Structure 1
């Protein structure tokens, strides 16, 4: 097994459980720090059209009315946790969803960008003028070359 980001085979198992499948193992790459799982039970197509961020359904199930504002306190806590690491830096958030974290981090970072497969969140990124990529291949001039020191992801 290799790291999805840098291709390294040097990784360690982390503690924790995956809510969808508690038997799934969690690993952290020793080269780039990416946290990844030992298996993937979905495809990219699932996430593109999976309606994971289907606003109408989420609102109906949770009783929420505005996901970005409803998650403001949660994302503020994430920002507080990593603020000292992102001030003046380029920030790339994998699985950035509705961009709630990036909207808050944008004020402090040199630049922000989200990587999110779900297609229906694109208008939010446009509204807040936050670059959005569908894959790592589209980052860093299209060649997939990224300065690993500038990557940061907190869940």
Structure 2
């Protein structure tokens, strides 16, 4: 056992088994407090998860990409609006790392931005290329940094993917090499301080999974970015799921797989807005975002 952040070898067991693999545990490093899987899945196992889209297949009986696109539109549009704030012009180059099915890249491209995608999963990359009508890169930032890509981008985005990486510092350092001198990186990850973890045992059981190797608190996300050479780091919360989703977990003891609620009906929107704002203010939202500079 070795912490993938600080290299420490002293740890505490947090959870025995995860939702899709009883043989993998979650541990907390006693030196830096990082939470991660133990043992960390081997490279060929991780590649198999990506290439065959196993994370999504573990949730959905049948993968309907169009249905997932519609379900994801709230997230996609939010990410587009966030990213636009950090782009100085439509000529600025943007790289989306972990493109998935290409929903984000597709909308940014339609808005006229010069954006490229990077996706190492074979099934997802093929779908993204059809979705975006353009090639999607497949190089692995844990293995190489193509010389032609160095100093190329003003903005790099990583939405819900850093938690999948086995060597976070190497990955972020290599991504940093792709940025221009004043380049920015935008990272979105699940929040280890998500308030649902303290109020629902069923949610907590569902939270830990084989595909998520690391679990980030705001403090740990700041630490890994600092260790990787980034500066002027800003971290804030985003509550993706609505108060209705919280009640669903509380009452039904299971996730809303096919009808996930990001927003509530108009008559109750004020309650939902208050709920989300309070969680964001306390950094107990389900998601945290970091914006950092090279």
Q: Under a length normalisation based on structure 1, what TM-score does the superposition of the two structures give?
A: 0.58
Query: Residue 64 of structure 1 contacts residue 70 of structure 1 at CA under 8 Å; is this kept in 2?
Result: no
Query: Residue 95 of structure 2 contacts residue 155 of structure 2 at CA under 8 Å; is this kept in 1?
Result: yes
1:1-150 residue pairs with structure 2 within 5 A? 21=26, 23=28, 41-42=40-41, 44-50=43-49, 51-52=52-53, 57-60=58-61, 66-86=67-87, 87-88=89-90, 89-127=92-130, 128-135=132-139, 136=141, 142-143=146-147, 145-147=149-151, 149-150=153-154
Of 143, 151, 155 in structure 1, the residue corresponding to residue 155 of structure 2 is 151
Unaligned runs of 5+ in 2: 1-24, 158-185, 189-294
Counterparts in 2 of 1:115 and 1:23: CA distance versus 1, 3 Å:
farther
Comparing 111-120 and 51-60, the one that deviates more: 51-60
Q: Which residue of 1 aligns with 2:285?
A: none
> In 2, distance between residues paired with 1:80 and 1:134?
26
After TM superposition, give the deviation of residue 76 of structure 1 in Å.
0.5
Secondary structure of the residue aligned to 2:86 is helix
After TM superposition, give the deviation of residue 145 of structure 1 in Å.
3.8
Secondary structure of the residue aligned to 1:73 is helix
> In 2, distance between residues paired with 1:122 and 1:56?
16
Aligned residues: CA RMSD: 3.9
Query: Residue 94 of structure 2 contacts residue 153 of structure 2 at CA under 8 Å; is this kept in 1?
Result: no
Q: Under a length normalisation based on structure 2, what TM-score does the superposition of the two structures give?
A: 0.34
After TM superposition, give the deviation of residue 67 of structure 1 in Å.
1.5
Counterparts in 2 of 1:67 and 1:53: CA distance versus 1, 3 Å:
farther
Structure 1 or 2, whichever has the larger Rg, is: 2
Superposed CA deviations along residues 30-86 of structure 1, whole A, max 9, x for unmatched, are: xxxxxxx9x993455444321346665543289986222221111111111221223
> In 2, distance between residues paired with 1:26 and 1:148?
35
Query: Residue 44 of structure 1 contacts residue 117 of structure 1 at CA under 8 Å; is this kept in 2?
Result: no
Q: Which residue of 1 aligns with 2:291?
A: none
Name the structure with the higher strand share.
Answer: 2
